[in-house]
């Protein structure tokens, strides 16, 4: 049938015009989103929490090698493709996020590709909630950060390697310096002795810095293997206290320890506990002025946790610095004045170690009056 052009056409009603305007607007919106999807090169997803339905843009299949017919449209598929070592953390993070009032979130994990290998992804997402705050829908993007991770890893490995290489020659310098100072290599003048002592001190400081860097990189590279064993916490503490006692007495600082029988048998990583306690003790001594100082160490069991405290009456931590004190290389300005040569790595390392075993570390500090550090570790 042909329509005769000369027949009068029926004009669309205002309702029909409105509908077609809406359709055009919708079409434009869809096109805009498609262009945004293409422009970002990110993998994008949309998850309906009630139904567990999940949709992805085509980048997911393009980047991770999945065929177009892969059944990627469920929450279960996503979860099953997260690396088993990261899945629990991701789940925990999700529950914490849902329970909070925060609407945006980001997390990192390894995601499985079609060929069975994993990519590190940065998952940034936004949740919509109902009137009660319960999550309804998540819109998110995955950004592949594998290359960046590998670069970081190579950098850390390089630092670790160089540090190892530096440690040996520095130890030689230290040992010969000490032999000169002890007169084992013949008579030296007072002036020579003074210069050699400065050389030895400098090498000891560098060795300590290298040891701290190596400890930190070992933990960050995931090379620290936690070894829990039955141990007597009171004994471990006493060993650490005996080790630092000469430092304390050189500054006339009184060191006391309240042993607690409930800590006689605990299941902890002894090396880690001693490293933590040693760092806290050395800090307490370092940041307590000579003369009227006192440091109290105590431990007790609190439910399933072992609570360790180290309290001093030293310089304290200024309020302005308290929020950053666990940051890598961070030192408060009053600490720099009293002790020029810190590394700012000790507390960072403690924080990372404590987290590795699911514990916590925090402090109370009154500037000019003293600081108490608390470490809570799982005891069983």
Residues at the interface with ligand ADP (CB under 6 A) = 279, 283-284, 287, 312, 314-317, 325, 331-332, 335, 342-348, 371
Closest approach, Cβ 272 to ligand ADP, in A, equals: 16
Residue placing its CB nearer to ligand ADP in the complex, 111 or 348: 348
**Between residues 295 and 376, which has the closer beta carbon with respect to ligand ADP?**
295
The nearest distance, CB 277 to ligand ADP, in angstroms, is 13
Block residue for tokens 């000369």? 6
Query: Least Å distance between CB 255 and ligand ADP?
Result: 13
Residue closer to ligand ADP by CB (options 270, 283) is 283
**3-state SS record for the chain:** CCCCCCCCCCCCCHHHHHHHHHHHHHHHHHHHHHHHHHHHCCEEEEEECCCCEEEECCHHHHHHCCCCCCCCCEHHHHHHCECHHHHHHHHHHHHHHHHCCCCEEEEEEEEECCCCCEEEEEEEEEEEECCCCCEEEEEEEEEECHHHHHHHHHHHHHHHHHHHHHHHHHHHHHHHHHHHHCCCCCCCCHHHHHHHHHHHHHHHHHHHHHHHHHHHHHHHCCCCCCCCEEECHHHHHHHHHHHHHHHHHHCCCEEEEECCHHHCCEEECHHHHHHHHHHHHHHHHHCCCCCCCEEEEEEEEECCEEEEEEEECCCCCCHHHHCCCCCCCCCCHHHHHHCCCCCCCHHHHHHHHHHHCCCEEEEEEECCCEEEEEEEEECC
CB of 267: closest distance to ligand ADP in angstroms?
27
Nearer to ligand ADP, 282 or 306 (CB): 282
Instruction: Closer to ligand ADP by CB, 125 or 376: give it.
Output: 376
State in angstroms the smallest separation of the CB of 37 from ligand ADP: 45
Min dist CB 204 to ligand ADP, Å, is 14
Closer to ligand ADP at the Cβ: 196 or 332? 332
Residue 57 or 279: the one with the smaller Cβ distance to ligand ADP is 279
Long-range contacts, 237-243 (Cβ 8 Å, 24+): 237/277, 237/297, 237/299, 237/308, 239/274, 240/274, 240/277, 240/278, 240/281, 241/281, 241/297, 243/278
* Cβ 278 to ligand ADP shortest distance, Å: 11
Residue 302: CB minimum distance to ligand ADP, A: 22
Q: Which is nearer to ligand ADP, 46 or 364 (CB)?
A: 364
Cβ nearer to ligand ADP, comparing 92 with 324: 324
The nearest distance, CB 157 to ligand ADP, in angstroms, is 23
């Amino acid at each position: 049938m042909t329509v005769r052009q000369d027949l009068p056409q029926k004009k669309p009603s205002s309702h029909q015009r409105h509908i077609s305007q809406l359709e055009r607007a919708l079409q434009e919106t869809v096109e805009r989103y498609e262009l945004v999807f293409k422009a970002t090169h990110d993998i994008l997803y949309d998850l309906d929490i009630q139904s567990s339905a999940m949709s992805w843009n085509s980048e997911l299949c393009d980047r991770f090698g999945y065929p177009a017919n892969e059944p990627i449209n469920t929450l279960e598929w996503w979860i099953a493709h997260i690396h088993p070592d990261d899945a629990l953390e991701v789940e925990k993070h999700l529950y914490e996020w849902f329970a909070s009032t925060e609407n945006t979130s980001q997390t990192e994990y390894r995601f499985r590709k079609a060929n069975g290998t994993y990519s590190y992804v940065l998952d940034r997402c936004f949740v919509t909630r109902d009137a009660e705050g319960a999550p309804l829908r998540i819109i998110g993007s995955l950004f592949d950060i594998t290359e960046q991770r590998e670069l970081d890893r190579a950098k850390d490995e390089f630092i670790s390697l160089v540090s190892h290489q530096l440690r040996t020659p520095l130890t030689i310098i230290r040992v010969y310096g000490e032999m000169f100072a002890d007169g084992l290599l013949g008579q030296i003048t007072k002036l020579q002795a003074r210069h050699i002592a400065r050389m030895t001190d400098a090498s000891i400081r560098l060795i300590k810095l290298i040891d701290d860097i190596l400890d930190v990189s070992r933990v960050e590279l995931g090379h620290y293997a936690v070894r829990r064993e039955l141990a007597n916490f009171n004994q471990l503490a006493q060993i650490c206290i005996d080790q630092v006692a000469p430092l304390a007495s050189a500054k006339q600082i009184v060191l006391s320890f309240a042993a607690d029988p409930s800590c006689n048998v605990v299941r902890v990583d002894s090396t880690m506990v001693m490293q933590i306690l040693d760092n806290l003790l050395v800090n307490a001594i370092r940041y307590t002025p000579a003369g009227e100082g006192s440091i109290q160490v105590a431990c007790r069991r609190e439910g399933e946790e072992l609570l360790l405290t180290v309290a001093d009456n030293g310089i304290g931590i200024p309020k302005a610095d308290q929020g950053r004190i666990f940051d890598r290389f961070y030192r408060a300005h009053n600490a720099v004045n009293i002790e020029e040569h810190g590394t700012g790595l000790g507390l960072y390392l403690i924080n990372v170690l404590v987290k590795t075993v699911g514990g916590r570390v925090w402090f109370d500090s009154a500037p000019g009056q003293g600081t108490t550090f608390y470490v809570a570790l799982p005891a069983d």
